[in-house]
Structure 1
Amino acid sequence: MICYRLLGKEVIQIIQNTNRLIFITGCAGFIGFHLSRRLLEEGCQVIGIDNINDYYDVTLKYDRLNMLKKYQKFHFVKGSIDNKELVESLFEQYQFEIVINLAAQAGIRYSIENPESYIQSNLVGFANILECCKHHKISHLIYASSSSVYGNNKHIPSSIYDRVDHPISLYAATKKANELMAYTYSHTFKLPTTGLRFFTVYGPWGRPDMALFKFSNAIINQQPIEVYNYGNMKRDFTYIDDVVESVMRIINNGPPKESDSYYKIYNIGNHKPVKLDYFIQLIEVQLGKKAILKLLPMNPGEVLETYADIEQLVNDIKYRPQTSIEEGLIKFTDWFKDYKNIKT
């Protein structure tokens, strides 16, 4: 059953089915936490798994997790999806309706230093998820891809119909591989899968390794921030609430049908690229301090511009991400100052 509520000026769909059982991998991560909380608030049962690795400060992950544990319909399992026996046991124990795979080793630069972790989590782990979804006839597998699959694609804005054969980081290559693996399972086993190419997601409870969190920390502590390509880059920053709303509508729309070969890909972006120097200026205003800039050449694995073509998404889910960068940064910095107990 679907009901409706207001989000700003829009009427949006929400799930109203307390018997829905959803498995979310990476539930202590940034997007996983927000999506889990939204599903729990709307009465769903959520089984979450996360290995709480130390890629960034685990305190933030546990703080997110502690918020989720307040919900009676949330159950947490600590572990990695590359543990085949563990994943299989969870699928045996629970009758999942929907699986949302957000667990992955994140980060572009880190993939240069530690490639093995990307192979294990992003490839071996995802293969385990696919196999279990196939055997247990899951109605819909939704999984995280990334805008990084576009590489330095010359076609702007990036369309889901563009070729993505030239990833320029191992992280991007693993995400492209996920899409290929999902397509194979959709085509061969009629497993409905939807891949989500996220474009620079930001907001409260965000990742400390992402630019917004790193820049805010550095500005508050009067430390230099590393600005690559001398600041001549653009990013399609996408606010977390818009991401979650998009995923919720994808869930409500149901799985891809046979007419779509049981396979879908969407860009999840704001469709409004922002220049990096303007982005930094907005953070300075909100924190009341000037940034110390350390201008550097282009970093290997980075792209010059991300810009999402979201017309297919808007057409299918009847929702367009709407949070401006100015509004989103106010919400982030308000949370950041509260979380860090900063007086400005």
Structure 2
Amino acid sequence: MDLLITGAAGFIGSALTQALRAAGHAVTALDDLSVTSPRPQPEHLQVRDVRSLTSEDLDGIDTVIHLAADKSVPRSFDIGGFEHNITVDRHMIHTFAASRARRLLMASSCEVYGQQNGPLSEISPHAPRSPYATGKAATEHLAAIYRPLLRTEQQIGIVRLFNTFGPDEAPDAVVPAFLDAAAQNQPLSVEGDGGQARDLTHIDDAVTMLSRILNSPQLLSVVNCGSGRSVTIRALAEAVIRVTGRGTITHTTPRTNEIRSFTADMRLFTTVYGPVSFRPLDQSLATTIRDRSRVWTKPIGARL
């Protein structure tokens, strides 16, 4: 396939670009570098704003994977973050609809679910609790508005990503922040009581799921991309201490509008795209430690 990935220098985008190219696909990688990632940039990266894309730029492209976004929930409460993501997403949908490209796969987020109990299925209602989540929900609605206007051969699919982690993730995310603190034998800062639960997926497993979607002829209107299991932030901190043999836990002020639990209902994905064998948490942390040790002055070994 001929593919175009926006946000290709980001954490997920760079890993997906590498995997798809290794599988023999022609991938045009695009990123404006406004949100940097510690991952190595893909070769032949086009440094370009998504909003500069025209329908002619998509001619010859089979599938567009739109990952570009500022994904920071706290930053979205500042003026500008919400508006930027919405503008970029709307431009991408409009440009795709006017192009000869066949498919558009857009990244949404588990944040659109907000505070709900139990595993979250694709038919669970939107209940966003941040400007970032509100923007993603709006993007999903825009995609639904455009679908009836597309040519017969065109598809727009939404993938709701849950919490993805792994090597080369930005240091402000919870897993690398915990690992960096443990490496320095410093307290691991847990917001609130640490009882908030997150569905954590290793980057390699997330790339496997995205590749399954792209290699299938069917793009679902909306599908979850997570592990289907959750771990509390306190239990995550304890796992980091267990694996590294270092660190202690300290509790800090709860985050504004913190959502108590995210767990993906993965039945739809499994039915359509097949089951995925997810890595155990301790194993995933160990591989992440081996990567992050490059930036530590006193490397530590992963204890399994």
Q: TM-score, normalised by structure 1?
A: 0.81
Q: Give, in angstroms, the shift of residue 171 of structure 1.
A: 0.6
Moved runs in structure 1, 4+ residues, more than 4 A?
Answer: none
Q: Are the counterparts in 1 of residues 10 and 37 from structure 2 also a CA contact under 8 Å? A: no
- CA–CA distance in 2 between the matches of 1:92 and 1:106? 25
> Residue 21 of structure 1 corresponds to which residue in structure 2?
2
Query: Which sits farther off after the overlay, 126-135 or 310-319?
Result: 126-135
Is the 1:22–1:98 contact (alpha carbons within 8 Å) kept by the matching residues of 2?
yes
* Contact 1:232/1:275 (8 A) holds in 2: yes
The match for 1:290 among 247, 250, 257 is 247
Aligned mates of 2:132, 2:213 — CA distance in 1:
25
Q: Which residue of the partner structure matches residue 77 of structure 1? A: 46
Q: 2:258 & 2:54 partners in 1: Cα distance?
A: 36
Quick one: distance in 1 between partners of 2:286 and 2:213? 28
Residues 11 and 37, structure 2, Cα contact 8 Å, conserved in 1:
no
Percent identity between matched residues is 24
3-state SS in 1 of match to 2:91: helix
Report the 3-state secondary structure (helix = DSSP H, G, I; strand = E; otherwise coil) of the residue aligned with 1:231. coil
Aligned mate of 2:194, from 226, 231, 234:
231
Q: Give the Cα separation in 1 of the matches to 2:297 and 2:25.
A: 33
Q: For 2:140, give the aligned amino acid.
A: E
- 1:68-98 deviation digits (Å, cap 9, x = unpaired): 21xxxxx3211222x3xx2117x43751110
Which of residues 259, 265, 268 is equivalent to 1:312? Answer: 268
Distance 2:266 2:105 in 1: 17
C-alpha RMSD of the superposition? 1.9
Q: 2:132 matched to 1:171? A: yes
1:101 aligns with 2:66: yes
Offset of residue 341 of structure 1: 5.6
Which of 35, 39, 54 is the aligned partner of 1:88? 54
**d(CA) in 1 for partners of 2:143 and 2:58?**
24
1:161 CA drift (Å): 0.9
Deviations 1:130-171 (A, max 9, x none): 1121111321111110011110013x101111111x210011
Note the alpha carbon deviations across 1:103-124, whole angstroms, 9 max, x for none: 0011111112x3313311x211
Equivalences for residues 316-335 of structure 1 within 5 A: 316-335=272-291
The count of residues paired between Structure 1 and Structure 2 equals: 298
CA contact (8 A) 1:23 1:96 kept: yes
Unaligned runs of 5+ in 2: none
Query: Map of 1:151-300 to 2, 5 A cutoff?
Result: 151-154=114-117, 156-164=118-126, 166-190=127-151, 191-256=154-219, 264-296=221-253, 298-300=254-256
- 1:209 deviates by 2.0
Identify unmatched segments of 5+ residues in structure 1: 1-19, 70-74, 257-262
In 2, Cα distance between equivalents of 1:217 and 1:118: 30
**Which secondary structure does the structure 1 equivalent of 2:257 belong to?**
coil
1:294 and 1:235 mapped to 2: Cα distance? 17
The residue that corresponds to 2:40 in the other structure is 64
